[in-house]
């Protein structure tokens, strides 16, 4: 385990799973990246609170442990841990033939991180005029797959169907199984310098719900992007699912996997850091005082190609 140097440490933890994305992996017979998803969901949550991931444990249960599948999963978990700078220190495997059928299995993980008390992310540090910055996602990440699977079935699309838009991936299964992006290396240096006021990891609940939790009730996040283009995979899904913009933004990351709120006095330093490190970012909007009571502290007027009334 790596050596840590924290004067006033607080331990943070996160537990999560991959959900029904597992079903896509099993149907497509591709399990190589699911462990990365598992690690990413946990360590990104810890990061959003200002924490540095330090160790990870996994739980794998199946009707019968297949050496081939198990090794693929463990290998990808180990890769995710290396990518996020934490140690895989153990886990649990269980055979439960009375619970799972055939090759079905379940996957869960638990991560622990540490943060100095003064570096702990606190949304109350957000000030009027702060800028909202989005970092791109790698794909669908690990949320909304129950809806995705329902849409695929209804439209008779399988993981082996060809991708109907320009993509580096040939088949739908490859698109859906792109592993969740791990943001630790990109953002930890900024957190340690106390340049980020608040953060939102865009998981279940989409942009509306997750960003709302990162903003004080006395303020409102105004999103009106100018340069951001929604990735084709999300435009395609909206079309085949025939669902509203609001439902897309309430379910998926829609191309933005992590949102930062940076106070005006730190904006230049953060943007210069991203440019120097060639980290792709988008200015999504800013924080304003809330003049009246509203049901939500998020207002999205324009998100890429989508105009919202």
- The per-residue pLDDT for range 43-69, each reduced to its tens digit, is 999 999 999 999 999 999 988 887 788
- Distance, in Å, from the CA atom of 34 to the CA atom of 85, rounded to the nearest integer, reads 18
Please indicate, yes or no, whether residues 223 and 145 belong to a single structural domain of this protein. yes
Measuring CA to CA, which residue among 227, 61, 67, 41 is closest to residue 137? 41
Q: Which residue has the higher pLDDT, 70 or 132?
A: 132
Which element (helix H / strand E) includes 262?
strand 256-262
- Distance, in Å, from the CA atom of 14 to the CA atom of 41, rounded to the nearest integer, reads 8
State CA 72 to chain mean position distance: 22
In this predicted structure, what is the pLDDT of residue 7? 80
Please indicate, yes or no, whether residues 115 and 128 belong to a single structural domain of this protein. no
- Distance, in Å, from the CA atom of 233 to the CA atom of 216, rounded to the nearest integer, reads 32
212 inside domain:
yes
**Which stretches within 48-192 are classed as H helix?**
67-84, 145-154, 172-176, 184-192
Question: Where among 119, 142, 167 does a domain terminate?
Answer: 119
- Distance, in Å, from the CA atom of 107 to the CA atom of 38, rounded to the nearest integer, reads 8
CATH for 217: 3.90.650.10
Please indicate, yes or no, whether residues 295 and 159 belong to a single structural domain of this protein. yes
Residue 155 backbone dihedrals phi, psi, to 5 degrees = -95, 10
pLDDT at 201 over 90: yes
* DSSP tag of 208: H
- Distance, in Å, from the CA atom of 296 to the CA atom of 221, rounded to the nearest integer, reads 9
- Distance, in Å, from the CA atom of 96 to the CA atom of 27, rounded to the nearest integer, reads 20
CATH for 101: 3.30.1330.10
Residue 217: which domain range? 123-307
27 inside domain:
yes
Question: Where among 119, 150, 176 does a domain terminate?
Answer: 119
In this predicted structure, what is the pLDDT of residue 4? 78
Please indicate, yes or no, whether residues 115 and 146 belong to a single structural domain of this protein. no
Which pTM was predicted?
0.94
Please indicate, yes or no, whether residues 112 and 154 belong to a single structural domain of this protein. no
Please indicate, yes or no, whether residues 170 and 303 belong to a single structural domain of this protein. yes
Tokens of 110: 């638990």
How many independent structural domains does the chain possess? 2
* 19-23, 37-41, 125-129, range with the lowest pLDDT: 19-23
Band the pLDDT of 37: cuts 50, 70, 90.
very high
Q: What is the mean pLDDT of the chain?
A: 94
Please indicate, yes or no, whether residues 101 and 182 belong to a single structural domain of this protein. no
Tokens of 194: 């106390």
Please indicate, yes or no, whether residues 101 and 170 belong to a single structural domain of this protein. no
Yes or no: say if 265 and 250 are a contact pair by the CB < 8 Å rule.
Answer: no
Question: Where among 72, 88, 119 does a domain terminate?
Answer: 119
4 inside domain:
no
CA angle 149, 30, 53 (to 5 degrees): 90
- Distance, in Å, from the CA atom of 39 to the CA atom of 111, rounded to the nearest integer, reads 8
User: Which residue carries 């009334």 as its tokens?
Assistant: 309
pLDDT at 1 over 70: no
Q: In what side-by-side order are the strands of the sheet with 198-201? A: 198-201, 256-262, 131-136, 281-289, 219-224, 298-303, 306-307
Please indicate, yes or no, whether residues 257 and 295 belong to a single structural domain of this protein. yes
Please indicate, yes or no, whether residues 141 and 76 belong to a single structural domain of this protein. no
2 inside domain:
no
- Distance, in Å, from the CA atom of 235 to the CA atom of 215, rounded to the nearest integer, reads 28
* 77-81, 83-87, 263-267, 289-293, range with the lowest pLDDT: 289-293
User: Which residue carries 């998981």 as its tokens?
Assistant: 203
Please indicate, yes or no, whether residues 149 and 223 belong to a single structural domain of this protein. yes
Residue 144 backbone dihedrals phi, psi, to 5 degrees = 80, 15
pLDDT at 293 over 70: no
């Amino acid at each position: 385990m790596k050596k840590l140097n924290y004067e006033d440490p607080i331990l943070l933890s996160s537990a999560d799973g991959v959900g029904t994305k597992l079903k896509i992996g099993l149907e497509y017979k591709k399990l190589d990246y699911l462990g990365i998803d598992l690690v990413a969901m946990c360590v990104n949550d810890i990061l959003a609170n200002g924490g540095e991931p330090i160790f990870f444990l996994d739980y794998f249960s199946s009707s019968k442990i297949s050496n081939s599948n198990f090794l693929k999963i463990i290998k990808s978990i180990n890769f995710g841990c290396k990518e996020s700078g934490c140690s895989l220190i153990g886990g649990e495997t269980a055979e439960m033939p009375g619970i799972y059928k055939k090759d079905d299995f379940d996957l869960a993980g638990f991560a622990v991180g540490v943060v100095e008390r003064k570096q702990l992310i606190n949304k109350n540090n957000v000030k009027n005029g702060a800028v909202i910055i989005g970092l791109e996602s790698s794909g669908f990440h690990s949320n909304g797959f129950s809806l995705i699977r329902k849409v695929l079935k209804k439209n008779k699309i399988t993981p082996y169907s060809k991708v109907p838009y320009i993509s580096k991936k040939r088949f739908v299964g490859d698109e859906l199984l792109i592993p969740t992006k791990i943001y630790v290396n990109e953002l930890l240096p900024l957190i340690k310098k106390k340049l980020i006021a608040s953060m939102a990891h865009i998981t279940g609940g989409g942009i509306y719900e997750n960003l709302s939790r990162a903003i004080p009730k006395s303020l409102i996040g105004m999103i009106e992007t100018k340069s951001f283009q929604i990735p084709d995979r999300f435009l395609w899904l909206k079309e085949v699912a025939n669902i509203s913009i609001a439902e897309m933004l309430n379910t998926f990351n829609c191309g933005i996997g992590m949102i930062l709120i940076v106070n005006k006095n730190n904006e230049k330093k953060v943007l210069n850091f991203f440019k120097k490190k060639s980290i792709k970012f988008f200015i999504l909007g800013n924080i304003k005082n809330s003049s009246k009571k509203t049901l939500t502290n998020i207002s999205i007027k324009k998100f890429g190609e989508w105009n919202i009334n």
